[in-house]
């Protein structure tokens, strides 16, 4: 092989590696982030090492979340069969509405009477479950916890736990398929209403809960709620979230959103997006 051809092949190889986020050794930026984690670790060993890693983050202010939404939530999916959101708008996790920046509309959602009136910053793990806004230890503005959500549907959800809804008991179904109704029998001792998110968002929100439980284990000192106790997910809820995680696997948009939160805002990652197999390596969240 001539020196020219060898040099050309090396150039092509390096260019391909750069375009895929790899360096010349084949190590990606994501691999580098997890270099201190034992990939085969399980249970508390894995959870504690991940907590130490992801807790090294930049805290984004609650006001800054509006700016972040305009960037990261371009990578939220829309309901299957619906058109993609127009450029410059973002998707909603509880409806099919595509929203323009809330900053120009005065910030937090105000008066609403129906879906599509306005949106707000949804704490997918309700903030009252950790004792209120000031007790979140950073969760109140964590971009893996916050999502844009239709104010009307968010108001209907309130603090209802996520869960599967029993067929025939639905009292509200949103435009993207979220359902409020009587919890199905897989909730064990808990009886009451559940909020079942749309199928295409079930995995995303499950992985949010696994991230939060890992991040704030031993940090939150409140509260005992139907679905959680402090940062622990109760067993009935965990069974449901694990099933949602399996049925709605990580896709390219979820990976991209994870990348942008890491690169441009918080400088930490949701490990259960990068390594969904770690959910099975931790037996108890």
Range ranked top by mean pLDDT from 9-18, 67-76, 87-96, 263-272: 263-272
Q: Is 8 part of any domain?
A: no
Which has the higher per-residue pLDDT, 109 or 283?
283
Q: What is the pLDDT of residues 171-181, one digit of tens each?
A: 999 999 999 99
Q: Is 111 part of any domain?
A: yes
- Whether pTM > 0.95 for this model: the answer is no
Contact 139, 127 (CB under 8 A): yes
- The per-residue DSSP string of 207-246 comes to HHHHHHHHHTTTT----B-SSEETTEEPHHHHHHHHHHHH
User: For the chain, what is the domain count?
Assistant: 1
Contacts of 260 (CB under 8 A, 6+ apart): 71, 72, 75
Q: Is 159 part of any domain?
A: yes
Contacts of 236 (CB under 8 A, 6+ apart): 186, 187, 188, 189, 190, 227
Domain range for 124 is 38-281
Q: Is 193 part of any domain?
A: yes
Q: What is the pLDDT of residues 29-67, one digit of tens each?
A: 899 999 999 999 999 999 999 999 999 999 999 999 989
Q: Is 97 part of any domain?
A: yes
Q: Is 23 part of any domain?
A: no
Q: What is the pLDDT of residues 102-140, one digit of tens each?
A: 665 555 677 899 999 999 999 999 999 999 999 999 999
Whole-number Å distance between alpha carbons of 283 and 253: 27
For the sheet with 193-196, list strands across it: 172-173, 179-182, 193-196
Whole-number Å distance between alpha carbons of 80 and 84: 9
Peptide bond preceding 48 in cis form (omega within 30 of 0): no
Whole-number Å distance between alpha carbons of 219 and 159: 21
Q: Is 20 part of any domain?
A: no
**Beta-carbon neighbour count of residue 51 at 10 Å?**
19
Contact 274, 65 (CB under 8 A): no
Q: Is 207 part of any domain?
A: yes
């Amino acid at each position: 092989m001539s020196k020219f051809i060898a040099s050309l092949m090396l150039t092509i190889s390096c260019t391909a590696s750069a375009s895929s986020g790899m360096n010349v050794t084949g190590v990606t930026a994501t691999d580098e982030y997890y270099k201190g984690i034992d990939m085969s670790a399980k249970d508390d060993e894995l959870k504690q090492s991940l907590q130490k890693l992801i807790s090294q983050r930049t805290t984004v202010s609650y006001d800054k979340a509006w700016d972040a939404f305009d960037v990261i939530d371009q990578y939220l999916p829309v309901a299957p069969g619906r058109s993609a959101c127009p450029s410059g708008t973002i998707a909603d996790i509880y409806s099919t509405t595509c929203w323009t920046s809330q900053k120009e509309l005065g910030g937090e959602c105000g008066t609403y009477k129906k879906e599509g009136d306005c949106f707000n910053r949804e704490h997918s793990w309700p903030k009252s479950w950790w004792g209120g806004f000031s007790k979140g230890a950073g969760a109140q503005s964590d971009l893996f916890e916050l999502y844009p959500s239709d104010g009307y549907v968010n108001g209907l959800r309130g603090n209802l736990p996520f869960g599967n809804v029993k067929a025939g008991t639905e009292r509200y179904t949103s435009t993207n398929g979220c359902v409020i109704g009587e919890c199905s029998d897989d909730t064990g001792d808990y009886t009451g209403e559940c909020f079942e998110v749309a199928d295409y968002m079930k995995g995303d929100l499950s992985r949010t809960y696994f991230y939060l439980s890992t991040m704030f284990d031993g940090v939150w000192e409140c509260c005992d709620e139907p679905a959680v106790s402090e940062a622990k997910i109760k067993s009935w809820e965990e069974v449901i979230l694990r099933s949602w995680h399996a049925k709605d696997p990580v896709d390219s948009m979820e990976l991209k959103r994870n990348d942008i939160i890491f690169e441009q805002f918080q400088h930490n990652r949701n490990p259960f997006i990068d390594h969904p197999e770690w959910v099975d390596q931790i037996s108890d969240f």
